[in-house]
Structure 1
Amino acid sequence: MNLQNNDKITIRDVRFEDAAAVLSLQREVVGEGEFFIAVAAEYHKTIEEQRDQIRSIIENERETMYVADIDGQIVGLIVFSSQNRKRLSHTGSISMMIKKEYRNMGVGKLLLLKLLAWAEQHPLLEKVCLGVFSTNHRAIALYKKMGFVEEGRKVREFKLGDNEYIDDVLMYKLV
């Protein structure tokens, strides 16, 4: 597949050997401080913890992680996680990160397409959920374009500073 800038991109399953690159991407995106709950000073995940997370995802048939790879460089990722509860076994949530210089090029759409195709084929899954900062207008527009619907909002859920808050927009898509 090609992006809007003609870079060749591959969306693939995460592998154990991706741990360092995945961790680097996460630190970079969290470090921007714009659209994630964690701030850089709180983000202390180690390479071992990242490997353990990848292993756990690979071994759990109800979870998955895909990476966007351009010439061996991971520029984005999407993770689907679920709770191990009988009454929640039909649902799970996604989290997505994309390197800043690769945003608005179609990476997020390709990651979502891959994940939704997986979810639609999964025998137990019926609902894919996510939470997104109300200020992340481009992500919200993409999610809506991909069929996600806003189901609620946690008002003033995130506090950025004195009298500066952001709502958490809760969205879902039935698969």
Structure 2
Amino acid sequence: MKELIVNKEKITIRKAKESDAEVLIEYLNIIGGQSNDLTFGEGEFGRTVEAEREFIKNALEKNNALFIIAEVDGKVVGNLNFSGGPRKRIAHVGEFGVSVLKEYWGNRIGEELIRYLIDWSKNSKIIKKINLRVRTENKRGIGLYKKLGFLEEGVLKRDYLIDGEFYDSLLMGLLID
């Protein structure tokens, strides 16, 4: 668990628990409508509370997966999930997704979630590379990832299809030594 103060509010970053499933589904349904930078839009997340509970349980059982949330006064305001590869040859590398409620954008919550992931990866002795993909138009996200040491590795053409229009993604990676 990690705590920080941002704009006089105490933010707690902690590992998700199975009992968080219902509030996480509510949170994910909200953020899906707040940004086109996610892999899902409003009403598109498509996971039941039970399926989310199982997803969290699986993340807790694996030594190469992490699911964390950021809370303010018990309210989920951000999350990050990371999954390492399912087989021995690729267990050391994984990809993450991160999101923050729009009303909390600009408060370093996303940055702190990613820093938590990086520290966890270094301490895991398993994870040797963190990958991500980000829409090429998301300059703010790309700037944050570069600030944290991620390097550009390539572009996926037509990776997103939003309202009938294609968007490319930038692949980025961070080596963990």
- Give the TM-score, by structure 2 length: 0.92
1:15 maps to which residue? Answer: 17
Alignment of 1:113 onto 2:128: no
The separation in 2 between residues aligned to 1:11 and 1:41, in whole angstroms, is: 26
Alignment of 1:146-157 (within 5 A): 146-157=148-159
Task: Report if aligned partners of 2:14, 2:70 keep a CA contact under 8 Å in 1.
Answer: yes
2:169 maps to which residue? Answer: 168
Letter paired with 1:170: L
Letter paired with 1:54: I
Q: Decide whether aligned partners of structure 1 residues 135 and 144 sit closer, same or farther in structure 2, where only a CA change above 3 A counts.
A: same
Alignment of 1:25 onto 2:38: no
In the TM superposition, residue 122 of structure 1 has moved relative to its aligned partner by 1.1
Structure 2 unaligned spans of 5+ = none
Q: Decide whether aligned partners of structure 1 residues 68 and 42 sit closer, same or farther in structure 2, where only a CA change above 3 A counts.
A: closer
Report 1 or 2 for greater relative contact order, CA contacts < 8 Å, sequence distance ≥ 6. Answer: 1
The separation in 2 between residues aligned to 1:28 and 1:41, in whole angstroms, is: 8
Alignment of 1:26-175 (within 5 A): 26-32=28-34, 34-162=36-164, 164-175=165-176
Query: What is the percent sequence identity of the aligned residues?
Result: 32
Structure 1 unaligned spans of 5+ = none
Report the aligned-residue RMSD.
Answer: 1.4
- Give the TM-score, by structure 1 length: 0.93
Size of the aligned set, in residue pairs, is: 173
Letter paired with 1:174: L
Letter paired with 1:43: F
In the TM superposition, residue 161 of structure 1 has moved relative to its aligned partner by 4.0
